[in-house]
Amino acid sequence: MTELRRGVLGPCVLALLELRPRFGLELVRDLADADGLLTSDGTVYPLLNRLRDAGLVTSQWRDDEGERARRYYSITKTGRESLTAFRAEWARFTATVGGVLNHDRPAPAVREGSQR
């Protein structure tokens, strides 16, 4: 499950940023509200940097009067496209896994001689 969580955390971050830009702690708290999604708060930051390097997220400093300067993260156009593609893939994936787990459909037959 840990690997599964790691895999979906990026799209979840993109989904939150799709609604509005957020600064680090704000993002961490929103993710932590989704029970079980975040194993530790700190892992969000390496992930954000990877998303930024991939062009899916951008960051911008805001220095509002009376507030400390904060780095706000926003989703990019490429990030939105990636999220849309992931949503479609995820829907198919969960339907497939759900079908197998709940015996809604026959498990695929093992073909002899098939190669990995």
Partner 1 sequence: MTSTGLDHPLVRDYLRELDDAFAALPAGQASELREQIVAHLDDALRPGADDEEVAGVLRRLGPPGDLAAEAAAGAAPRGRTTGGRRRFRPHRLGRRAGALTIAAVAVAGLLAGYVVAAGTAAPLQAAPSASWWYARDWTRAVETSADGHDQTTVPIRFGQRQGFVITVYNPSRWTQTILGPGADFATPDGPYAQLSVGDSLNIRRGGGVFRPVSYVLPGTIPPHQIRALRVMWTSTACLERGSSQGIDELRVRVRVGWVTRTEVIRLNQAWYLLGLSQGRRCGFGPGA
State the residues that interact with partner 1 by CB under 8 A. 23-25, 28, 32, 39-43, 45-50, 58-61, 63, 68-71
Cβ of residue 49: shortest distance to partner 1, in angstroms? 6
Main-chain dihedrals φ then ψ at residue 115, nearest 5 degrees: -110, 150
CB burial of residue 15 (10 Å; 0-12, 13-18, 19+): middle
Asked if 62 contacts 56 with a C-beta cutoff of 8 angstroms, the reply is: no
Cβ of residue 26: shortest distance to partner 1, in angstroms? 8
If the CB atoms of residues 103 and 116 are measured against partner 1, the closer one turns out to be: 116
Cβ of residue 24: shortest distance to partner 1, in angstroms? 5
If the CB atoms of residues 29 and 105 are measured against partner 1, the closer one turns out to be: 29
Beta carbons within 10 angstroms of residue 14's beta carbon: 22
Cα–Cα dist 86/108, whole Å: 24
Beta partners for residue 58, in sequence order: 74
If the CB atoms of residues 57 and 83 are measured against partner 1, the closer one turns out to be: 57
Cβ of residue 40: shortest distance to partner 1, in angstroms? 3
